A and B are shown apart, each in its own frame.
Chain A
Amino acid sequence: MWSTFRRYARIYGVQIKNNFVREAVYRTNFLTSLAVDIVWMVIELSFFSILYANTPVLMGWTKPQVYFFLGIFFASDALFTTFFQRNFWQFSDLVNKGELDILLTKPVHPVFLALSRWINLTNILNFIVGMVIAVRFAPAAGFLGGWHWLTVAAWLAFGVISALLIRFAFSIWVFWTERSWAISRLYYQFFHFASLPDTLFPKMIRYLLLTLVPVAFIGSVPARAILHGLEPSEYALLAGVLTFFFVANGLLWHAGLRRYQSVSS
């Protein structure tokens, strides 16, 4: 067990090193992609500042609270972008061009290899930007500070894991459809909903965003949890939904692999 963990850690270490080498070569590309994300953040912040220019409170959320939420959301998303984003972009190539064959013959779990190939280290800067925004508006948003910052780390991890599981569930269909980008795009369409605090939504949609397409887990739920904690029933919901996604993804992966094997003969 421990030796397996050490082996995987070592492989991940080499992947990080390799991606670092790559980024050093293509520095401008990575800096410009950083710039794109920063512009995206500015646009999201402007959107809410325009809304708050017209109203002092939006569904019980004050302006600093929404900014705090956005900070957490940006940070969580930046972590996902750093470690996973590009792997999912390449996922359909992996399957459709048959590169998965190579991964399957390696003595490592293929999902691990598929999701650790591309790491965008430059994007850590966006994580910092997100955290700066969160910290800047934390006092005004009513954040207690102190040891509560520890919960921030846990909730960020929760956000990233959620994004990973949801994105995976949207990507896995590549085994069945050749042009899977349509479904991947659907993910990004739903992702727009993640940029609003979930309490804003009408009941039915909100329910959807907390269960079937739980994009609210990426930023909104963590921000709410950090600010004022959750109801016990909500913790159960989170655990249940994530477990469901984990199991479903596992089943879909195996079914997909079977499909891949029957098609590729």
Chain B
Amino acid sequence: MSLGVLGWRWAALRNGLQDATAYRIEFLFEFLGSAFVPAAVQWIVWYALFQLGGATTVAGMTYVDMIQYTLMSVLFTQIRGGDQDFELQEMIRTGGLSNYLLRPVGVVEFVFIRGLAPKLFIAGFCLVIGFAISLFFPFSALRMLGAMLLALMGNIIHYQLGAALSTVAFYWEEAFAMLMVKNLIVSLLSGEKIPLNLIPEAYSWIWKSTPFYLYVFAPTQFALGRSSITQFAGELLLSLVWVVACWGLIRLTWGLSIKRYLSLGG
């Protein structure tokens, strides 16, 4: 079997998918739970605001706008990074990393690809749902495709940042807290809890200066036709810049800390 450069990557991808779906019921459980709850929380807030509270527009959005945002954002929330970075820090902490260093594969990439597999599967599934919706509502299927691409870029950035942060485990014994903090911040600034345009203009620089809004908010807005093609192109370009920058960051952090890891006797 010689697939050249694809060889182990393909195997890792397949292995990752098998691993995630080995327990099908729980895979489904996990998928539904993580889709349903954030959506329900959002919906409850909008319901209280508009239906019970009697508001007509909030930050220029109607109740229907909000619901549309909620439903669409759920699709992209599913794509945003998994917990592979936690796996990395666990490997560093327990010393399991040493096993991987002996293999002729990049460990950061290997862990990413394994975790990416179920996400790709889900992305395909969400895309089908998106296309189905676009048949009945005035959404463009093409926009849906572009939005999913951006969301996948977001997935990469999310993991890259996590991988860079997990090197903290080389120095502090663990990076669990660091990654949790990152995820908490992402949960607010990615737009999976609320559309980010609810944040007052004076504070908008906060979310605009992180890549997190590219995970959920930007794809959702684009898919719903609320942002222009040029804006989308800019965001896609920006995500590319982030990916490249993060790649450099990983090279730097892992290069430095692996040297330290090895010098301490692995």
Contacts and interface: CB of A to CB of B under 8 A. Distances in A.
A55 B55 contact: yes
B181 A179 contact: no
Interface in A22-39: 28-29, 32-33, 35-36, 39
A186 interface: yes
A40 B48 contact: no
Contact of B181 (A35, A54, A57): A35
Contact of A29 (B49, B173, B199): B173
A39 B185 contact: yes
A24 B66 CA distance: 48
Looking at B37, B55, B185, which has the most chain A CB atoms within 10 Å of its CB? B37
Contact of A182 (B29, B58, B184): B29
A150 interface: no
Contacts of A54: 58-59, 198
Interface string B30-54: 1001101110110011011100110
Contacts of A36: 177, 180-181, 184
A185 B28 CA distance: 13
Contacts of B253: none
A54 B49 CA distance: 10
B136 interface: no
Contacts of B45: 51, 58, 196, 200
Contacts of B58: 54-55
A50 interface: yes
B194 interface: yes
B199 A47 contact: no
A202 B29 CA distance: 24
A39 B55 contact: no
> What's the dominant secondary structure at chain B's contact region?
helix
Interface of B: 23, 26, 29-30, 33-34, 36-38, 40-41, 44-45, 47-49, 52-53, 55, 58-59, 172-174, 176-178, 180-181, 184-185, 187-188, 193-194, 198-200
B33 A189 contact: yes
A55 B200 CA distance: 12
Nearest to B206: A46
The 10 nearest A-B residue pairs measured at CB: A32-B177, A189-B37, A200-B48, A182-B26, A36-B180, A59-B48, A54-B58, A39-B181, A53-B200, A36-B177
Contacts of B180: 36, 39
A85 B202 CA distance: 39
A244 interface: no
A192 interface: yes
A70 to B, nearest CB: 14
A182 B178 CA distance: 24
A54 B66 CA distance: 14
Given A29-B174, A39-B181, A58-B48, 17 more contacts: A29-B177, A36-B181, A39-B185, A46-B188, A50-B199, A50-B200, A51-B198, A53-B199, A54-B198, A55-B53, A182-B29, A189-B36, A192-B37, A193-B40, A193-B44, A201-B48, A202-B44
